[in-house]
Amino acid sequence: MRSNKQKKLEAKGWKIGSASDFLKLSPEEEAYIELKLSLCKTLKRLRTKKHLSQNDLAKMIKSSQSRVAKMEAGDSSVSLDLVIRSLFSVGVSKKDLAKAVSSAT
Amino acid sequence: MRSNKQKKLEAKGWKIGSASDFLKLSPEEEAYIELKLSLCKTLKRLRTKKHLSQNDLAKMIKSSQSRVAKMEAGDSSVSLDLVIRSLFSVGVSKKDLAKAVSSAT
DNA sequence: TTGCAATATGTCATATTTGACATATACTAA
DNA sequence: TTAGTATATGTCAAATATGACATATTGCAA
């Protein structure tokens, strides 16, 4: 079972290459990353639930498939803004949003 | 009493200068702006509650007073990323966050 | 297998967001 | 009034996020 810390490491591009595996995140950074990953997961869940391909979603938000893939992977190059805009585009409910926020570990 | 539409207009820099006062926002854009404004309001509320000046908060997040002011004003030049990072820095609770999300009109 | 659609990954020029700064305005207290 | 502190607003070069693209990989049906 992967630890939460490793999960955060896997947010591609974050602190990778730092000398230590025990990357020190401030509580704020940690909360931010957890929230982001939670929302990315929600996005993927809602997209597949709606039977949309990454390409479909990309067109809806006037972006590209590769960016959608990066979003869903929690890539550090993607902003929360884009993730949240995308969530609204797939019709996320306030309830689902709030749940994703609350459940961010 | 200001209308919701006006409130959104006041999100400085958004669509101002367009020919019409009746700016057409897609439901997604609308939801995004409402969420942002809701979080900006929450930030200001929590900051003042903690008796922090904008300068204090700016130092905490390694930014500047002017950017904090813009954040709290809901300026369109400020990203949700920064607002949310700031919220975490002032110690927002998951509950407060979820509430701000849910209550976004 | 082969073929095709979906997804992942890397790069890059352009667009947006950034902190910093100057300066204006608002609000108290002396 | 004056002085001091807080907040607002405008600008800009530097930093970061962006869509687009090429290409790799996966998964699944024929």
> Residue A101 is nearest to which of B80, B89, B101, comparing CB atoms?
B101
CATH number, domain of B12, equals 1.10.260.40
> How does pLDDT run across B46-69, given as a tens digit for each residue?
999 999 999 999 999 999 999 999
% residues pLDDT > 70 (chain A): 80
State whether residue A77 sits within 8 Å of chain B by CB: no
Answer whether residue A15 is part of any domain. no
> How does pLDDT run across A68-87, given as a tens digit for each residue?
999 999 999 999 999 999 99
Name which of A84, A72, A30 is nearest B36 in CA terms.
A84
Quickly list H helices, chain A: 4-9, 27-49, 54-60, 65-73, 80-89, 94-103
Q: Say what the pLDDT of residue B20 is.
A: 47
Please give the tally of structural domains in chain B.
1
Which structural domain range is residue B89 located in? 4-103
Kindly list the distances between the CA atom of residue B101 and the CA atoms of A57, A86, B42, B64, B87, in Å, as whole numbers in the listed order.
23, 16, 10, 26, 13
